Amino acid sequence: MRSNTYTLIFTSIVTIILGFLLSLAVTALKERQDLNVEIDIKKNILQSLDFGPSAKSPWTPDTIQSIFDDNISSIVINAKGETVIGKSPEDINPDVDLNLYPVYIKTMDGEINGYAIPISGKGLWSTLYGYFAVESDGMTVKGITFYKHGETPGLGGEVEKPWFRNNFKGKKFVDNDGNLVGIQIMKGSVDETSPDAYHQVDGISGATMTSKGLNNFLMDDLKIYESFFNRIRTDGGA
């Protein structure tokens, strides 16, 4: 009887200790995963704003954090494009703050050099998440990145490749009258002689539905931020 009691107590203690250690391991792993996601998002914001690693200066989590801290600030805007004082992107609760939106601002030598906004929407097989960057003029594309999607490699998955993303640089998403026209991904190559070429980019072969989805959700996101960018175009700054 005494032996059975001892065994029960010993087993209980071991179970409690193992459970505690497992809990610590899970917590540490979750914190590491969350940090990796945060760094990856910051990397994509930087890339959309035309930062990038080089052979002499490869990116590590620490360098990404340092570059971000040194060059990127952020604000929160409302549906009217007005800055919400006292709010940061981290404060936004998507379940409650339905009309608050983050903007990331690149500053170089004391001057604004671009703005990045989050974009997301349905492709063919998945929801795509990324960042869309705009030059300081509030109308010209600076860059675009995608950090999460489940599109088919070699087809819709090409959205993350530099050859596709670079097509967006220098394109304009408003016409000469200041009307929002978005960016149109073509089926095939852009006809550079077309009067609409200024807001068109080369398409991805075999990825019509992914391209159509990107066209649609990018336009939807630009509509959300149009009041803000219109203020930039009109007033010349955030």
**d(C-alpha 131, C-alpha 119), whole Å:** 5
Six token digits for residue 10: 């010993």
Tell me, yes or no, whether 202 lies in a domain: yes
Output the pLDDT for position 31: 67
Q: Provide the 10 A C-beta neighbour count for residue 132.
A: 22
Which pLDDT score is estimated for 57? Answer: 83
How many C-beta atoms surround the C-beta of residue 72 within 10 A? 18
In a domain? residue 20: no
Integer Cα distance of 17 and 229 in angstroms: 56
Residue 11 domain-assigned? no
Rounded Cα distance between 49 and 71, Å, is 10
Has residue 149 been placed in a domain?
A: yes
The verdict on residue 60 lying in a domain is no
Q: Identify the DSSP state of 174.
A: B
119 closest CA partner among 62, 83, 173, 176: 173
In-domain check, residue 101? yes
**Do residues 45 and 68 touch, judged by C-beta distance below 8 A?**
yes
- The pLDDT value given to residue 98: 85
Has residue 32 been placed in a domain? no
Could you give the C-alpha distances from 48 to 106, 177, 201, 216, 221, in angstroms and in order?
A: 10, 26, 16, 20, 16
What pLDDT is recorded for position 13?
Answer: 84
Look at residue 167 in the predicted model and tell me its pLDDT. Answer: 95
Is this model's pTM higher than 0.75 or not? yes
7: left (phi over 0), alpha (psi -120 to 50) or beta: alpha
Q: Is residue 54 part of a domain?
A: no
Domain that holds residue 229: 72-235
Listed in sequence order, the DSSP H helices in 49-128 are 61-71
Block mean pLDDT (10 aa), the chain, length 238: 70 81 74 80 96 88 94 96 93 88 95 96 94 97 95 91 95 95 94 94 92 96 97 80
**Total of domains in the chain:** 1
pLDDT at 190: 94
